[in-house]
A and B are shown apart, each in its own frame.
Chain A
Amino acid sequence: MIEHTEFLNGKEAAALASQDIKPYFIGEQAAMCYGASLGGGRVFNLGTMPEILAEQSNTRIPIVQNLVTSGKHLDTALNSGWIILLARNPQAVYDLNLAAVKIGEHTDIRLPVIVCYDEYFTHEQKHRLHVFDEGIQSFLGEPKAAITALDPNNPVTFGSKTFNTNKQHFMAMATARGVIFEVLNEFEKLTGRAYPILDAYRMDDAEYAVILLNTAAETAKDVVDQYRDKGLKVGVISPNVIRPFPIEDFITTLKNVKTIVVGDRAEGGNISLEIRAALQQDPNNKTVVLSRIYGKEFNEADVEAFFELAQNSRDAIPFDYYGCYKGEADYKPPKGLPVIDAKVASMATITGKSGNLKVELAPLWAIADVTNRIAPGHGACPGCGIFSMLRQIFSVLEGELVILFQSGCGMVVTTDYPKTAHRITYIQNDSQNGATTLSGLVEMYHEKVRRGELAESNDITFLMITGDGGMDFGMGDAIGAANRNHRMIIIEYDNQGCMNTGGQLSDSTPLGHSTGTVEKSFHHKDTAQIFAACHLPYVFTASEGFSEDLMRKVAKAQWYAKREGLVYGKIMSFCPLHWHTPDSVAQSVMQAALDCHFFPLYEVEKGKTTLTYDPDILGTRLPVTSWLKRMGKTKHLLNPKNAAILKSFETEVERRWKRIKAMHEHEEL
């Protein structure tokens, strides 16, 4: 076996393993990987979100999926029917990913396999490891699938809801015990790196042991070494395989152990329950089992506390949380700003009728004095457009407001417990179903008003704020809310990527733009037109670099959201960190995006489209390149070698602009 040394974190180790395996398909979405694997080739899921589909194990499809966990996600995965390997460091991430392929594809098993490791500690910390130069394919062998969805001569029906596959699945899991053992043995012969099913460290004559998963177990080994030097009979047990659960191994290893303390990060203490159940099968076992749930970090002092507990187990309660902070009785969170008086002067005067509203905006200097609904002191990057946008929105919205943020930068930097930048009621939601959550609250509000429990004069406006990434994950929910036409506003700040998670692409990232991971290979999603097709009372686009236009539209949005139904607005928002620009250039970069037709500013009011800024008429028209050259993420598109991408982008921008312009010119469109 020829190998070389690398210095990588778990994330990179998994990526390298996925390349070295040379799968037919590498994906990030569970369902896409499932689809690919129905076709019979080797499939690798590099996405780290805990999307574990039971379908994959029911249909007996081998896929390798990496799961980065802080405990909770492992809980969910445990009962999904997948084989689960635990990787305690980046070396194990690399090695076990290779082993996982071979285990899952074994003809007697054919099950998907999770390689699970700790968020932050293993995923992000860089370690020394050895990786293969060659020999992987001969270790793995050919992928064999007896049944595939890509064999027209042998049509198959995949998945029946009326046949119960559980017993077959149980039998495969039982077989897996032996196969996993064989594969890991073979791996050890090749590399010298041992992965026993149950890693029993210095357990030979141990009287007390701690049982921990992944990095916590590694920390414990250092402590055990020190205790052993002092003559204490202690050890650490940590599984490398947790599904199938190593019942026999636990029984044998714990035969003569007086007390164990099981440290779980997951909430219910699954592992300790299963160990207790396993020990029930050994009538002679007298081991005392204590279970403790700990938080994120687990350091040497915590291991020492566990051993202390093990040695004084007589009065200890069997199950408890460990290391949680109780708080001090006299603690008061930092003082904030007073509650806002909602009855302030109106900054936008609206006249006209539904379908043809006119907005008269107060001068900017008057607006500048409006009390902001969000306080300074938030932690966004210098220059972040989300907050300029919020300032403008909050300047024209009148009366009481309830806001909901889907996760993203705007949420993360405003609500660092126990501090909040929000001065009004604020709800945090995952990036998936914010629109549905808020629509429920809207319905409750109207019901309470109907029952006379809330005065109508409260007149609350409901506003959801999401990033463009959240408008991908949450699209289904948002469309649902739009079709039901609840009286609320959805504002999408479009910074052209999933910035909070490192600037990855979203569907709204334009073609060719480089992102935290890859260059975007398809055109940007036209979210405003998608919502226009829901026939909402009001849909608009705006730019936080053009505040008057934005505020006029938000004033209309509130009018329609109070009276007629759902309003959607897409607002271009500056992100210097991931656009790779100086922090100061928001105005000029976004102006160029307007002037080159990339981001048409328009509204669709009761079906009628109106452009609110037309560079052709104003004579400010610029070529697309004069926008692209201003950002680090797009400069490369001006290079002649990217001429084809640029051309394709320019053509698409122009095609979409002409469509909007045609709609602007024709009442019926």
Chain B
Amino acid sequence: MNDKTILPDHKKKFGIRFESIAGLGADTAAQILAKTAVLHLGLNSVQFSSYGHKKKGAAMRSFIRFSEKNIRSTAPIESPDVIVVFHSALLKNPATLAGMKADGILIYNGSDKLPANLSHLPSTTKLIQIDAQRIALKEKTSLDAVLLGTITAALPFLDFSTLQSIAPNKNAFQRGAQEFEILSNIGKGKGNLPISKPKPTFGYETAPIGGTFPCTGNTIENDLSTIRIQWLPILNIEKCVHCGICEMVCPDFCFVWAHGKNNQIYLQGIDYQYCKACLRCVESCSTGALRRKSEEPGMADKLGMRRLK
């Protein structure tokens, strides 16, 4: 237990941003860090999360500010000292790395193959990779339990033994603190990454009055595939009897049907852009035509198809 913790720059606030998906434990991990700092490390801290609409699988962010003094600001942290990426799929969105500082730290949960987007990072940013998913599975715990260890190891001002004693899973914490790799020569950028700008939409001069909008079904633009974190439903068309049950249970309208000869209607495939891998279809298909498989990169593109209507 520290009475007084000294931050790297003790005049400034130190900011951390977690980039995650609701359900992966980012909010819990952020709360543990911030609460420990306040109750045991003599620091001040503020913690909060922002979710779209708090549904499972939606992208979310969690923020922590540390300071040796009072903290008044309640704004989201646009350019944090540390960004922790909980899932590689999040890198598809450029906002995930927005505001990354050239002298900051990026902690990235992922295995072997590095996503190409990481090359946008400033070359001087410290890049730490940890396969937290694998460790979490082995230790039968959640991602946050592992990443807490990695974050603590990366930030010397967080007292290691205090956090370890509070960690929800000691082994996972220990492994998170040890089994990471520091990667070099990945980032090619110079200087801080720019902060993210909101996408254009209707404004008060252009929007139809009263919040009405004359659109029909334009959510089809959305890509929901980032919500899948492990499985993919796979259709074995040989076993399919085209009964239609999967269509009745799929909440995300992923099944693609076609008309054959004699106007017969048959199942063609699955549009994985909308599939959240709930696996309700797998549960309900009685012929075994639908099975779950662990999703590998590229698998959905290869096996899926697009709905046309």
Report the Cα distance A584→B218, complex, angstroms: 27
B residues 262-297 in Cβ contact with A at 8 Å: 265-267, 271, 273-274, 276-280, 282-284
Do the beta carbons of B221 and A377 come within 8 Å of each other?
yes
Bound complex: CA of A335 vs CA of B216, how far in Å?
8
A202 to chain B, nearest CB (A): 13
- Which residue of chain B has the shortest Cβ distance to A126 in the bound complex? B47
Does B11 interact with chain A (Cβ within 8 Å)? no
Q: Which of B48, B259, B271 gathers the greatest number of chain A CB atoms within 10 Å?
A: B48
Residues of A within 8 A of B283 (CB): 584-588
Most buried by A among B207, B215, B251: B251
Known: A367-B244, A368-B244, A502-B54. A576 touches B34 (CB 8 A): no
| Contact call B211/A376, Cβ cutoff below 8 A | no
Q: Does B145 interact with chain A (Cβ within 8 Å)?
A: no
Residues of B within 8 A of A376 (CB): 219-220, 224, 252-254, 271, 273-274, 307
B279: chain A residues at CB < 8 Å are 383, 582-584
CB contact between A583 and one of B75, B216, B280 (< 8 Å): that residue: B280
Residues of A with C-beta under 8 A to B298: none
CB nearest to A547 among chain B residues: B248
Q: 6 A-B contacts, Cβ less than 8 Å apart?
A: A126-B31, A331-B203, A368-B267, A380-B55, A381-B276, A387-B253
A-binding residues in B (CB < 8 A)? 31, 34-35, 38-39, 44-49, 52-58, 71-75, 200-207, 211, 213, 215-222, 224, 227, 242-245, 247-255, 257, 259, 265-267, 271, 273-274, 276-280, 282-284, 307, 309
Q: B282 near A584 (CB under 8 angstroms)?
A: yes
Interface residues of A (CB under 8 A from B): 5, 7, 9, 118, 121-122, 124-128, 215, 218-219, 221-222, 297, 299-300, 324-329, 331, 333-339, 363-369, 371-372, 374-388, 391-392, 409, 412-414, 416-424, 500, 502, 545, 547, 576-577, 582-588
Listed from nearest, the 7 A-B pairs whose CB atoms lie closest are A327-B203, A375-B217, A377-B219, A336-B218, A364-B244, A327-B206, A383-B278
CB-based nearest A residue for B266: A365
* With A331-B200, A388-B280: A413-B55 Cβ-Cβ less than 8 Å: yes
- Taking CB as reference atom, which chain B residue is nearest A336? B218
Q: Is the CB of B203 within 8 A of A326?
A: yes
Residue of A nearest to B35 (CB): A7
Contact B221 A382 (CB under 8 A): no
* CB pair B53 A412 closer than 8 Å: yes
Asked whether, in the complex, the Cβ of A418 is within 8 Å of the Cβ of B215, the reply is yes
Across the two chains, which residue of chain A brings its CB closest to B206?
Answer: A327
Minimum C-beta distance from B49 to chain A (A): 8
A7 to B261, CA, bound (A): 67
A577 & B55 in contact (Cβ 8 Å cutoff): yes
CB within 8 A of A423: which of B48, B205, B217, B265?
A: B217
Q: By the criterion CB–CB under 8 Å, are A382 and B278 in contact?
A: yes
Closest residue on chain B to residue A502 by CB atoms:
B54
Which residues on B sit within 8 Å (CB–CB) of A363? Answer: 244
Which listed residue, B243, B257, B280, touches A586 by the CB 8 Å rule?
A: B280
Given A337-B216, A420-B213, residue A121 in contact with residue B204 (CB < 8 A)? no
Q: How far is the CB of B237 from chain A (nearest CB, A)?
A: 14
Contact of A219 among B72, B201, B254, B278 (CB under 8 A): B72
Chain A residues, CB < 8 A from B280: 383, 388, 583-584, 586-587
- Establish whether residues A335 and B218, one from each chain, have CB atoms under 8 Å apart when the complex forms: yes
Indicate if the CB atoms of B57 and A339 lie closer than 8 Å.
no
The interface residues of chain A lying within 8 Å CB-to-CB of B55 are 379-381, 384, 409, 413, 577
CA distance A580 to B96 in the complex (A): 29
Tell me the bound Cα distance from A334 to B217 in angstroms: 10
Give Cα A5–Cα B39 distance, bound, in whole angstroms: 7
